[in-house]
Amino acid sequence: MYINIKYFGQIAELTQTKEENLEFSGIIVSELVETLYLKYSNLRTKNFQIAQNQELVSMETELTGNDIALLPPFAGG
C-alpha cells in the first residue's frame, strides 16, 4: 500500500521534505520506521514519536492507516 508520511521540525530538515508517499508492505509501525532508517540513516539519532491517522501510536502498533506523521519534541519558547 501507499503511505503518506509527514515530517515535522528537525525531522523534515533531515528528510529535506515535509511530506512524501512511500510504497510499503510491512505490518507494524516499527517496520516502517526501520525502512525509513535505511532511507535516512541519520534519522536513527533523532527523537520522535509516530502518529497514524492523526493518533499517536506505539512502535508495535499494526499499520492500518495511510497517514503517518513523525513528530519530534520542540524545546523552544
Q: Which residues bind other proteins (CB under 8 A)?
A: 6, 8-10, 18, 28, 30, 34, 37, 44-47, 49, 51, 54-56, 59-60, 69, 71-77
Q: For residue 6, what is its C-alpha cell?
A: 509527514
Q: Which is nearer to other proteins, 22 or 61 (CB)?
A: 61
Q: How far is the CB of 15 from other proteins (least distance, A)?
A: 14
Q: Which is nearer to other proteins, 2 or 75 (CB)?
A: 75
Closest CA to 46 of 4, 7, 3, 2: 7
Is residue 28 within 8 Å of residue 3, measured between CB atoms? Answer: no
Question: How far apart are the C-alpha atoms of 76 and 55, rounded to whole Å?
Answer: 24
Q: How far is the CB of 51 from other proteins (least distance, A)?
A: 5
Q: Which is nearer to other proteins, 30 or 66 (CB)?
A: 30
